[in-house]
C-alpha cells in the first residue's frame, strides 16, 4: 500500500526541489495499468518572477495567458479539460490524488482579486471571455447561472499575505456539455516553451489524446513564495494525464479498423472440451503486452527540451516508467542518455539528450511480481432516480474503503431548472459487514454542515455543499428530490431532446492520516448526469398563433353579427332563386367580355 | 336587433313575397352606433397599441449637422503656427521691423492658406527691450506651450552668414547673421528676412505636404483649397499613410524574440528598453500612451507558404526573397495575439536565425530589417558564428548585441506612428505629428458621422438607441472644440478633443444594438397577422360597407 505513496513522495520531493531553483521543468511518468491500459502523466512547470511578470517581460510564462491574468486581476487559476472516466476499481488511486483533474467537460475555478462581489463577478466574466478566446472553448458561456462560490471544497494553493487574502474571491464554473477536442490542445501546447517540438510534449497529439479512455488537461497558475520571504514567483503548471488502451493506440493510423488476428496466430486453450480443428477458445494471456512509446503515441520523443533545468542538474530524470524491476525496458537513442533507478527498481528514469529521437520498447514478458495497484480509499457514483417529466431524484453513493472514518465535503452545482427540495435530503449509511448492518445506523452526525444557496430562475444555479462523515468500511447514500422546470421556447438548445448535462459532484476528503505526505487533499469527481426535460414541439408558436386567432375570430364574429345583423322571418327574405343567380352571373360575364372587346378595338384603331 | 314578427296572412304570401317590416329608427341608430364603436375601438385603441408595440425605437439624430461635418461645411481647419523670434542683441524696433519684413516674405511664398506661420517676438526679447520701446502690438496671447518654434538670432562675425542650425532635441533654430544683413528701416526686404523665410519654408515643407495631402484625400475637407501636390509626393505620402498604425490613445508595444532553435532563450531586455525606448516613449507621451511587454518564443518555424531561405554563393549568406517578407511572420503558430485592452498592438520581432542559416539577409538589398504596414517591424539579428565565444554569447543576448536592433525598432516605431522624416529636430517632428494627427482624427470622425447619417437613412428598420444620439451630440461638440482649437493654434487640446470625438463616433457607429438588425420577412408577418386579422376584419369591413351603401341609398331616396 505505502509503496505507491513512496513513489509519489519521491516524485513530489524532486518536483518541489526542482521548482525552487529552475524556471522550467518537465516530466513524463508512464505506468502500465491492468487490462493493457497505460497511464501517461505529463507535467510541465514554468516560473516567472513576480517582478518580471508585473513588468510584462515574459520568458517561459506565456504572454497570452499572463496578460489575461493581469487584465482580470486573477491571482490563482485552475482550468480543466476532461474526457472519459477513471476506472477506480481497476486502475487504483487517481494520479495527483485527483487534484489535477476536472469533471467531464470544462471546469474552471479562480481566485480573483476585487474589492466587492460585483467587481469580482465582472472580472470573472472578463476572465472567462478572454480564456474562451485563448483556448477555443465555450468558456464564455459560464455566466451567473453556472457560477458558484464554493465555501469548503477548494482551497488556494498559492501563498498570500493576510491583507491580500481578504480581497480574494473564489469563483467556480463548469461546462459539463463541452466536448474537449484538438482545438483545445493546440493552444495548450502553444503555451509551452518547447511548443511540442522537443521534449516530452512532442508526444502530445490530438489523435491519440482524445482517443484515450480517460484524459484530463489541467492548467494551474499560483504564486509560490520561498519560505518567509517576499521573493515570489508565479508558477504555471500544465498537466496532461491520460489512460491509453495499448492495443487500440498501437493500431496503425492508415488502417485503423480493428480486425481479428489470423487464426494461425491465435493460441487456443486446448483444455476446453470443445477444442477442435475448427473451434478455438483463445488463451487469456497472463503476460504483460509488448509496447513501445513510438507504437502507442505514434511518434518517438524528439529529444529533451533543452530549456528544462533538470536537463543539466542532478534530478530524478525526465521520462520515468513505473514497472517491476524484472520487466525489460529497452531505451534507444542515437545520442547518449542517462538512466537512473529509484525505489528498488520500481521507478526507472531516463534523461535523453537534446536533438535525437528517444524511444522506449517493452517486449512481451511473463512477470512473477506485478506492479502493485493501490486501491483508492473512496469510491463515488451518482445517478438519477424517479420517472416522469415533472419530478426526479438524485442518489449518490459514496463508499469509504478505508478502516478509518473519513470526513469529506460534497459539492453540487446544479442548473437552475433542476429545482432541489432540500427537505427531501436523506442520508443512510450501510456498513460492509453484516454484523453491524443490523443497526442500520441512524448516525446523527452524518451531515455535519450544510451550505445551501437556492437557485433563482434564470439568474443563479443551486449551490449545495455538505460536510459529511462516513464511518469506516461503509457506504453512504445521499438522496434528494427535485422538480424539473419548464423552459422558455428560446432557452432550449438545438438538440433539446438529448437532455441537459448536470455537472459532476466534487468530493474532497478532508481528514486523512497521511495527507501531509503528499501535500494536500484528495479529490474525487462523479460522472456527469444527463437530465431529460419536457421538450415542446418547436413548431408550437405558429400553431398557438393560429389556434388562438381562430378562437378569437370565432368569438368576435358571432358576437359582432349578433349585435349588428337584423333578424327577420325566413319567408320575409327576398328569395334568391337559381335562375335569377344564373342570369346575374351571365350578365356579369357579358359585361366583362364587352369591356375587353372594346379595349381591343381601341387598341387596333391606334 | 329585435326580431320583428311577420303579421301578414297566407294569401299575400302566395302572390307577393312578404316584406320585412320597416325597421324602427332607434334600431338603425343602435346598429350604426355599434358598428362605429367597434371601428372606433379598432382605430383609436388597436392601431395605436399595434403601432407602439411594433415600431422600432429611433432616437432622433442631428442629420443635418452630421452631413455638414461630413461635407466639410461645418469646419475649415486652419493651422496657424506661432514662431517666436528671440533676439537679445537687436533693439525692439529693429526686431519688429525684421519681423514684419520676414512675415511679408513668408506670406508671399505661402500658397497654402490653411497653414500659415505667424512670427512673434518672444517674451525675453520684450523684457530686454522694455525700457527702450513700447510693447509691440503683436505679442498678445503669447504663451510658451503653443510656440511651435523659437528662432534665436545670434550675431556672428565669422563664417558665411546668414546660416541656420537646428537643435536636434529642442525646437530652437539658431540663425547667425551679421549686422549689415538686418533690414534698414526704410527697406521692405533684406537678405536676412528672405533667408529666414526660406529656412522656415524648408522646415515646414513636409508638414505642409502631409496636411495638403490629408485635405485633398478627405471628402470632409472638400471646401478648403490646398496646393496641388506633384504625383511623386502624393504617392509617397499615400504610402506613408497606409503604413502608419491607426491613431489611438494607447498603443501596446510587444517586443518578441523569435528563434527557430532553442538558443538564445534569454535577452537583456530590461536594460535595452531602458537605454533605447524609455526616452523615446517619454517624448511621445503627449501624443499617445504606450504599454510595453516582451516575450521569448523558441522553436519558431516559418509558415509553409513562404520559400525557405536559399544559400547565395555570391554573398556567402542565406537570402530571403522580397515577396516572402510579408509572409515571414507565421501568424498561425507564432503567438503574436494582440494585447488585451483598448488600442492597437504594434509588434517588433527580433528574429535570430539558427547557426546553420547565419547570416540571413534579404536577397534584393542585403538588408536585415523591414516594416510590416500597420502591424510592426521585423529585424533579423545575425550572431557571429564559429568561435566558442560566439557560442557562449548565443545563449543570452547582451545589451550590446541588442543595441542595433533597438535602434532599428525605434526608427520603425517612429515611421509606424507616421512621424515625418524631416526636419532633423525630434520635437519639431513630433509637434508636426500632433497637428497631422489632430487633423486626420478630425476628418475621420467627420466622415464617420457622415457614414452614420447615411446608414440611418438607408436602413429604416434598424433601431437607434439613445446612447447613439448622445454619442453623436458629444462628437459634434468635441469636433467644434477641436476645430476652434486648431484655429487658435492650440494643437495639443485639438488633438485631445478630436480623439474624444473619434472615439465617441466609433462607439456610436459600432453600437451593438444597432448592428443586429431585426429582420422579419414578409411571409412571417403574413403568417402572424392573417389568422387573427382576417376573420376579424372581414365582418367589420362588410358591416361598414353595407351601412355606407344603405346610407347612400337613403340619401338618393330622400332626394
Average pLDDT score over chain B = 81
- Higher-confidence residue of B4 and B450: namely B450
Beta bridge partners of A380: A398
Identify which of A200, A260, A210, A216 has the alpha carbon closest to the alpha carbon of residue A106. Answer: A216
Q: Do B262 and A306 touch (CB under 8 A)?
A: yes
Q: Report the residue of A572, A573, A580 to disrupt the B interface, i.e. the one with the largest count of B CBs within 10 Å.
A: A572
Same domain, A391 and A506: yes
| Residues A214, A82: Cα–Cα separation, whole Å | 8
- Cβ burial of A110 (10 Å; 0-12, 13-18, 19+) is buried
| Residues B445, B493: Cα–Cα separation, whole Å | 16
Would you tell me how many other CB atoms lie within 10 Å of the CB of residue B382? Answer: 16
pLDDT recorded at residue A1:
41
pLDDT digit string (tens) for A283-297? 877 788 889 999 899
Q: Which of A62, A549, A564 sits opposite B34 (nearest CB)?
A: A564
Q: How confident is the model at residue A145 (pLDDT cuts 50, 70, 90)?
A: very high
pLDDT recorded at residue A17:
45
pLDDT digit string (tens) for B52-91? 887 778 888 888 888 888 888 888 888 888 888 887 777 7
pLDDT recorded at residue A490:
80
pLDDT recorded at residue B150:
85
| Residues B117, B208: Cα–Cα separation, whole Å | 11
Q: What is the mean pLDDT of residues A404-415?
A: 90
- Higher-confidence residue of B58 and A454: namely A454
Quick one: DSSP state of residue A95? G
The answer to whether residue A69 neighbours chain B at the CB level (below 8 Å) is: no
pLDDT of A82 higher than 90: yes
pLDDT of B552 higher than 60: yes
Residue A440: C-alpha distances to residues A378, A434, A477, B381, B466 (Å): 20, 10, 12, 78, 68
Same domain, A574 and A504: no
pLDDT recorded at residue B518:
58
Task: Among A330, A362, A394, identify where a domain stops.
Answer: A362
**Residues within 8 A of A (CB atoms), B 149-168 only:** none
Q: Do A67 and B340 touch (CB under 8 A)?
A: yes
Q: How confident is the model at residue B307 (pLDDT cuts 50, 70, 90)?
A: confident
pLDDT of B137 higher than 50: no
Quick one: DSSP state of residue A176? T
pLDDT recorded at residue B86:
81
> What's the 3-state SS for B166-201?
ECCCCCEEEEEECHHHCCCCCCCCCHHHHHHHHHHH
Alpha-carbon distance B238 to nearest alpha carbon in chain A (angstroms) = 34
| Residues B25, B41: Cα–Cα separation, whole Å | 24
Question: Among A9-13, A172-176, A369-373, which is the least confidently predicted range?
Answer: A9-13
What global pTM score does this model have?
0.81
Q: What is the spatial order of strands in the sheet that B376-380 belongs to?
A: B289-297, B250-258, B345-351, B376-380, B369-372
**Residues within 8 A of B (CB atoms), A 184-213 only:** 190, 193-195, 197-198
Identify which of B46, B28, B118, B106 has the alpha carbon closest to the alpha carbon of residue B79. Answer: B118
Q: What is the mean pLDDT of residues A429-450?
A: 68
pLDDT-above-90 percentage for chain A: 32
Q: Which of B6, B23, B532 sits opposite A553 (nearest CB)?
A: B532
Question: Among A52-66, B140-154, B208-222, B469-483, which is the least confidently predicted range?
Answer: B140-154
pLDDT recorded at residue B154:
81
pLDDT recorded at residue B391:
62
**Residues within 8 A of A (CB atoms), B 11-30 only:** 13, 17-20, 23, 27
Q: What is the mean pLDDT of residues B532-539?
A: 81
Q: What is the mean pLDDT of residues A399-415?
A: 89
Alpha-carbon distance A184 to nearest alpha carbon in chain B (angstroms) = 14
Q: What is the mean pLDDT of residues B247-264?
A: 88
Q: How confident is the model at residue B386 (pLDDT cuts 50, 70, 90)?
A: low
Q: How confident is the model at residue B283 (pLDDT cuts 50, 70, 90)?
A: confident
Distance spanning both ends of chain B, measured CA to CA: 28
**C-alpha cell of residue B523:** 411571409
CB contacts of A553 in chain B (<8 Å) are 531-532, 534-536
Same domain, A125 and A187: yes
pLDDT digit string (tens) for B333-363? 888 888 888 889 999 999 998 888 888 888 8
pLDDT-above-70 percentage for chain B: 88
Same domain, A358 and A388: no
Q: How confident is the model at residue B140 (pLDDT cuts 50, 70, 90)?
A: very low
pLDDT of B378 higher than 80: yes
Query: A551: nearest CA in chain B?
Result: B532
CB contacts of B269 in chain A (<8 Å) are 57
CB contacts of A549 in chain B (<8 Å) are 531-532, 535
Domain limits, chain B: 79-210, 247-413, 428-515, 520-559
Q: How confident is the model at residue A30 (pLDDT cuts 50, 70, 90)?
A: very high
pLDDT-above-90 percentage for chain B: 13
Alpha helices in B313-355 (DSSP H): none
> What's the 3-state SS for B357-368?
HCCEEECCCCCC
Q: How confident is the model at residue A20 (pLDDT cuts 50, 70, 90)?
A: very low
Q: What is the mean pLDDT of residues A522-527?
A: 91
Q: At what angle do helices B426-458 and B491-509 cross, to 10 degrees?
A: 30
Do B253 and B292 touch, CB atoms closer than 8 A? Answer: yes
Same domain, A62 and A151: yes
Domain residues for the domain of A509 are 379-531
Q: What is the mean pLDDT of residues B546-558?
A: 86
Task: Among A505, A531, A557, identify where a domain stops.
Answer: A531
CATH 3.40.390 fits B247-413, yes or no: yes
pLDDT of A310 higher than 60: no
Instruction: Using the structure block, give the residue that is written with the C-alpha cell 526507472.
Output: A348
Q: What is the CATH number of the domain that holds A407?
A: 2.60.40.1290
Same domain, A577 and A520: no
The answer to whether residue B261 neighbours chain A at the CB level (below 8 Å) is: no
Question: Does residue A537 lie within any of the structural domains?
Answer: no
pLDDT recorded at residue A236:
92
Q: Is the C-alpha dihedral spanning B536, B541, B546, B551 positive or negative?
A: positive
Same domain, A193 and A220: yes
Q: Do A553 and B534 touch (CB under 8 A)?
A: yes
Question: Does residue A334 lie within any of the structural domains?
Answer: yes
Query: B300: nearest CA in chain A?
Result: A195
| Residues A135, B435: Cα–Cα separation, whole Å | 43
**Residues within 8 A of B (CB atoms), A 127-186 only:** 130
pLDDT digit string (tens) for B390-425? 566 567 888 888 899 999 999 999 889 888 887 778
Q: Report the residue of A553, A570, A575 to disrupt the B interface, i.e. the one with the largest count of B CBs within 10 Å.
A: A553
pLDDT recorded at residue A304:
84
Preceding omega of B264 cis (within 30 degrees of 0): yes
pLDDT recorded at residue A599:
58
- Higher-confidence residue of A120 and A164: namely A120
Q: How far is CA B352 from the centre of its chain?
A: 36
Complex-level ipTM: 0.79
Beta bridge partners of A288: A365
Q: How confident is the model at residue A68 (pLDDT cuts 50, 70, 90)?
A: very high
Same domain, A183 and A249: yes
Q: At what angle do helices B63-70 and B426-458 cross, to 10 degrees?
A: 140
- CATH topology for B79-210? Collagenase (Catalytic Domain) (3.40.390)
Q: How confident is the model at residue B517 (pLDDT cuts 50, 70, 90)?
A: low
Same domain, A461 and A582: no
Q: Is the C-alpha dihedral spanning A595, A599, A602, A604 positive or negative?
A: negative
Alpha-carbon distance A322 to nearest alpha carbon in chain B (angstroms) = 30
Same domain, A213 and A290: yes
Question: Does residue A330 lie within any of the structural domains?
Answer: yes
Angle at B412 between CA B409 and CA B416, to 5 degrees: 135
| Number of structural domains found in chain A | 3
- Higher-confidence residue of A29 and B217: namely A29
Q: How confident is the model at residue B4 (pLDDT cuts 50, 70, 90)?
A: very low
Q: What is the CA radius of gyration of chain B?
A: 39
pLDDT digit string (tens) for B20-48? 777 788 888 888 898 899 999 989 998 89
| Residues A346, A316: Cα–Cα separation, whole Å | 13
Do A42 and A201 touch, CB atoms closer than 8 A? Answer: yes
Q: What is the mean pLDDT of residues A104-123?
A: 93
Q: What is the mean pLDDT of residues B187-206?
A: 81
Q: Do A63 and B335 touch (CB under 8 A)?
A: yes
Assign A464 to helix, strand or coil: strand
Q: How confident is the model at residue A268 (pLDDT cuts 50, 70, 90)?
A: confident
Question: Does residue A552 lie within any of the structural domains?
Answer: no
pLDDT of A218 higher than 90: yes
| Residues A138, A18: Cα–Cα separation, whole Å | 35
Average pLDDT score over chain A = 84
- Higher-confidence residue of A44 and B222: namely A44
Question: Among A539-543, B113-117, B158-162, B459-463, which is the least confidently predicted range?
Answer: B158-162
pLDDT recorded at residue B203:
85
Q: Do B340 and A68 touch (CB under 8 A)?
A: yes
pLDDT of A150 higher than 60: yes
Q: Do B298 and A307 touch (CB under 8 A)?
A: yes
Alpha-carbon distance A132 to nearest alpha carbon in chain B (angstroms) = 13
Question: Does residue A298 lie within any of the structural domains?
Answer: yes
pLDDT digit string (tens) for B443-475? 889 999 999 999 888 887 778 888 999 999 999
Question: Among A6-10, A238-242, A382-386, B19-23, which is the least confidently predicted range?
Answer: A6-10
Task: Among A531, A554, A587, identify where a domain stops.
Answer: A531
pLDDT of A129 higher than 80: yes
Amino acid at each position: 500500500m505505502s509503496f505507491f505513496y513512496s513513489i509519489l513522495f519521491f516524485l513530489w520531493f524532486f518536483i518541489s526541489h526542482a521548482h525552487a531553483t529552475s524556471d522550467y521543468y518537465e516530466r513524463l511518468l508512464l505506468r502500465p495499468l491492468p487490462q493493457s491500459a497505460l497511464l501517461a502523466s505529463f507535467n510541465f512547470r514554468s516560473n516567472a518572477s513576480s517582478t518580471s511578470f508585473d513588468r510584462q517581460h515574459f520568458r517561459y510564462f506565456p504572454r497570452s495567458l499572463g496578460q489575461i491574468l493581469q487584465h482580470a486581476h486573477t491571482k490563482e487559476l485552475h482550468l480543466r479539460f476532461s474526457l472519459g472516466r477513471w476506472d477506480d476499481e481497476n486502475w487504483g488511486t487517481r494520479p495527483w490524488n485527483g487534484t489535477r483533474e476536472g469533471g467531464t467537460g470544462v471546469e474552471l475555478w479562480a481566485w480573483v482579486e476585487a474589492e466587492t462581489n460585483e467587481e469580482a463577478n465582472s472580472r470573472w466574466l472578463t476572465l472567462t471571455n478572454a480564456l474562451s478566446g485563448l483556448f477555443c472553448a465555450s468558456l464564455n458561456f459560464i455566466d451567473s447561472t453556472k457560477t458558484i462560490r464554493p465555501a469548503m471544497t477548494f482551497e488556494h494553493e498559492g501563498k498570500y499575505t493576510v491583507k491580500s487574502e481578504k480581497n480574494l474571491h473564489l469563483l467556480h464554473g463548469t461546462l459539463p456539455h463541452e466536448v474537449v477536442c484538438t482545438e483545445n490542445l493546440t493552444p495548450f501546447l502553444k503555451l509551452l516553451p518547447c511548443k511540442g517540438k522537443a521534449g516530452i510534449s512532442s508526444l502530445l497529439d490530438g489523435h491519440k489524446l482524445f482517443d484515450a479512455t480517460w484524459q484530463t488537461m489541467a492548467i494551474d497558475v499560483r504564486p509560490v513564495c520561498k519560505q518567509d520571504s517576499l521573493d515570489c514567483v508565479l508558477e504555471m503548471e500544465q498537466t496532461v494525464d491520460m489512460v491509453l488502451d495499448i492495443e487500440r493506440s498501437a493500431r496503425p493510423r492508415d488502417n485503423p479498423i480493428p480486425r481479428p488476428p489470423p487464426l494461425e496466430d491465435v493460441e487456443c486453450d486446448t483444455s476446453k472440451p470443445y477444442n477442435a480443428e475448427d473451434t478455438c477458445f483463445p488463451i487469456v494471456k497472463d503476460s504483460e503486452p509488448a509496447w513501445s512509446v513510438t507504437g502507442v503515441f505514434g511518434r518517438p520523443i524528439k529529444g529533451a527540451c533543452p530549456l528544462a533545468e533538470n536537463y543539466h542538474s542532478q534530478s530524478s530524470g525526465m521520462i520515468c516508467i513505473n514497472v517491476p524491476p524484472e520487466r525489460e525496458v529497452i531505451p534507444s537513442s542515437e545520442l547518449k542518455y542517462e538512466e537512473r533507478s529509484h525505489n528498488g527498481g520500481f521507478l526507472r528514469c531516463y534523461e535523453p539528450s537534446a536533438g535525437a529521437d528517444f524511444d522506449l520498447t517493452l517486449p512481451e514478458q511473463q512477470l512473477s511480481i506485478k506492479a502493485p495497484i493501490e486501491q483508492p480509499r473512496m469510491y463515488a457514483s451518482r445517478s438519477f432516480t424517479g420517472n416522469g417529466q415533472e419530478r426526479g431524484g438524485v442518489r449518490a453513493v459514496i463508499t469509504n474503503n478505508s478502516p478509518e472514518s473519513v470526513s469529506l465535503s460534497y459539492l453540487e452545482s446544479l442548473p437552475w431548472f433542476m429545482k432541489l427540495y432540500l427537505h427531501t435530503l436523506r442520508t443512510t449509511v450501510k456498513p460492509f459487514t453484516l454484523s453491524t448492518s443490523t443497526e442500520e445506523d441512524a448516525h446523527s452526525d452524518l451531515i455535519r454542515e450544510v451550505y445551501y444557496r437556492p437557485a433563482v430562475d434564470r439568474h443563479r444555479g443551486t449551490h449545495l455543499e455538505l460536510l459529511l462523515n462516513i464511518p469506516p468500511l461503509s457506504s453512504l447514500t445521499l438522496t434528494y428530490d427535485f422538480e424539473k422546470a419548464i423552459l422558455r421556447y428560446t432557452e432550449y438548445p438545438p438538440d433539446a431532446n438529448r437532455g441537459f448535462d448536470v455537472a459532476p459532484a466534487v468530493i474532497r476528503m478532508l481528514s486523512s492520516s497521511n495527507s501531509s505526505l503528499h501535500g494536500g487533499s484528495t479529490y474525487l469527481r462523479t460522472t456527469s448526469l444527463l437530465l431529460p426535460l419536457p421538450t415542446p414541439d418547436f413548431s408550437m408558436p405558429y400553431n398557438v398563433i393560429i389556434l388562438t386567432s381562430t378562437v378569437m375570430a370565432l368569438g368576435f364574429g358571432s358576437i359582432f353579427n349578433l349585435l349588428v345583423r337584423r333578424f327577420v322571418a325566413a319567408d320575409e327574405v327576398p328569395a334568391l332563386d337559381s335562375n335569377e343567380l344564373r342570369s346575374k352571373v351571365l350578365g356579369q360575364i357579358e359585361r366583362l367580355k364587352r369591356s375587353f372587346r372594346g379595349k381591343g378595338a381601341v387598341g387596333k384603331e391606334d | 336587433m329585435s326580431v320583428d314578427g311577420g303579421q301578414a296572412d297566407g294569401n299575400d304570401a302566395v302572390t307577393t313575397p312578404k316584406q320585412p317590416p320597416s325597421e324602427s329608427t332607434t334600431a338603425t341608430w343602435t346598429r350604426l352606433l355599434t358598428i362605429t364603436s367597434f371601428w372606433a375601438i379598432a382605430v383609436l385603441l388597436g392601431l395605436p397599441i399595434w403601432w407602439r408595440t411594433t415600431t422600432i425605437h429611433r432616437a432622433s439624430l442631428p442629420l443635418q449637422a452630421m452631413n455638414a461635418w461630413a461635407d466639410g461645411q461645418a469646419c475649415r481647419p486652419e493651422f496657424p503656427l506661432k514662431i517666436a523670434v528671440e533676439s537679445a542683441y537687436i533693439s525692439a524696433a529693429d526686431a519688429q521691423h525684421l519681423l514684419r519684413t520676414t512675415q511679408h516674405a513668408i506670406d508671399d511664398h505661402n500658397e497654402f492658406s490653411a497653414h500659415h506661420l505667424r512670427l512673434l517676438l518672444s517674451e525675453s526679447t520684450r523684457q530686454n527691450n522694455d525700457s527702450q520701446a513700447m510693447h509691440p502690438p503683436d505679442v498678445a496671447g503669447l504663451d510658451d506651450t503653443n510656440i511651435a518654434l523659437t528662432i534665436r538670432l545670434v550675431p556672428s562675425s565669422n563664417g558665411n552668414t546668414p546660416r541656420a542650425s537646428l537643435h536636434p532635441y529642442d525646437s530652437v533654430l539658431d540663425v547667425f547673421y551679421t549686422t549689415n544683413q538686418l533690414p534698414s528701416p526704410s527697406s521692405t526686404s533684406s537678405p536676412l528676412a528672405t533667408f529666414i523665410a526660406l529656412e522656415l519654408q524648408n522646415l515646414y515643407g513636409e508638414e505642409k505636404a502631409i496636411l495638403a495631402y490629408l485635405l485633398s484625400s478627405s471628402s470632409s475637407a472638400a471646401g478648403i483649397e490646398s496646393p496641388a501636390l506633384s504625383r511623386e509626393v502624393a504617392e509617397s505620402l499615400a504610402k506613408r499613410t497606409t503604413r502608419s498604425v491607426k491613431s489611438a490613445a494607447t498603443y501596446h508595444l510587444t517586443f518578441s524574440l523569435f528563434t527557430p532553435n532553442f538558443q538564445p532563450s534569454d535577452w537583456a531586455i530590461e536594460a535595452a528598453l531602458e537605454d533605447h525606448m524609455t526616452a523615446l516613449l517619454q517624448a511621445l507621451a503627449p501624443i499617445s500612451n504606450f504599454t510595453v511587454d516582451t516575450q521569448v518564443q523558441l522553436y519558431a518555424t516559418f509558415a509553409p507558404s513562404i520559400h525557405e531561405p536559399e544559400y547565395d554563393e555570391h554573398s556567402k549568406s542565406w537570402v530571403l526573397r522580397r515577396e516572402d517578407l510579408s509572409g515571414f511572420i507565421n501568424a498561425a503558430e507564432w503567438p503574436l495575439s494582440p494585447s488585451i485592452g483598448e488600442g492597437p498592438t504594434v509588434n517588433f520581432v527580433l528574429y535570430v536565425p539558427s547557426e546553420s542559416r547565419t547570416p540571413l539577409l534579404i536577397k534584393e538589398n542585403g538588408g536585415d530589417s523591414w516594416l510590416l504596414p500597420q502591424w510592426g517591424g521585423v529585424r533579423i539579428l545575425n550572431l557571429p558564428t564559429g568561435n566558442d565565444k560566439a557560442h557562449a554569447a548565443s545563449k543570452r543576448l547582451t545589451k550590446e548585441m541588442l543595441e542595433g536592433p533597438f535602434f532599428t525598432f525605434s526608427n520603425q516605431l517612429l515611421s509606424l506612428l507616421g512621424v515625418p522624416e524631416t526636419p532633423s529636430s525630434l520635437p519639431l517632428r513630433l509637434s508636426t505629428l500632433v497637428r497631422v494627427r489632430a487633423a486626420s482624427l478630425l476628418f475621420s470622425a467627420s466622415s464617420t458621422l457622415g457614414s452614420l447619417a447615411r446608414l440611418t437613412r438607408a436602413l429604416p428598420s434598424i433601431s437607434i438607441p439613445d446612447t447613439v444620439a448622445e454619442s453623436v451630440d458629444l462628437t459634434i461638440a468635441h469636433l467644434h472644440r477641436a476645430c476652434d482649437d486648431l484655429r487658435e493654434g492650440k494643437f495639443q487640446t485639438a488633438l485631445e478633443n478630436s480623439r474624444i470625438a473619434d472615439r465617441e463616433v466609433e462607439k456610436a457607429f459600432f453600437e451593438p444594438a444597432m448592428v443586429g438588425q431585426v429582420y422579419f420577412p414578409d411571409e412571417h408577418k403574413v403568417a402572424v397577422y392573417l389568422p387573427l386579422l382576417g376573420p376579424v376584419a372581414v365582418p367589420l369591413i362588410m358591416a361598414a360597407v353595407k351601412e355606407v351603401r344603405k346610407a347612400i341609398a337613403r340619401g338618393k331616396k330622400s332626394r
